[in-house]
């Protein structure tokens, strides 16, 4: 969380990525096999949306479908909703 806040404080944008090719990342960034990659983060300045292809432009402005907090927040064990 602190990394996200400091990124924002510096006028940058941070995007966490979970769906990436771990083996390709190890090759591209010369990461030894004994290291595990759990997440990849892109940090940079936000550009305007007008550089996106039309297919991505539509996706960028579509309403987002989010799960309710009761579906993702649990107390002490899975499926014991944090919200009463």
**What DSSP element (H or E) covers 10?**
none
Please work out, in degrees rounded to the nearest 5, the angle formed at the alpha carbon of residue 68 by the alpha carbons of 67 and 72: 80
Q: What is the pLDDT of residues 11-62, one digit of tens each?
A: 999 988 878 999 999 999 999 999 999 889 999 998 777 788 888 888 878 8
> pLDDT value at position 84?
61
Domain 2-72 sits in CATH at 3.40.109.10
> pLDDT value at position 1?
66
CB 82 within 8 A of CB 70: yes
Strand partners, 15: 42
Region 61-78: mean pLDDT is: 86
d(CA 83, CA 39): 28
d(CA 67, CA 53): 28
């Amino acid at each position: 969380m602190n990394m996200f806040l400091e990124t924002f404080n510096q006028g940058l944008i941070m995007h966490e990525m979970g769906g990436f090719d771990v083996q390709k990342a190890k090759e591209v960034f010369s990461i030894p096999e004994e290291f595990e990659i759990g997440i990849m983060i892109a940090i940079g300045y936000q550009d305007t949306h007008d550089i996106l292809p039309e297919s991505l432009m539509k996706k960028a402005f579509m309403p987002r479908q989010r799960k309710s907090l009761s579906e993702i927040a649990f107390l002490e064990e899975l499926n014991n909703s944090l919200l009463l």
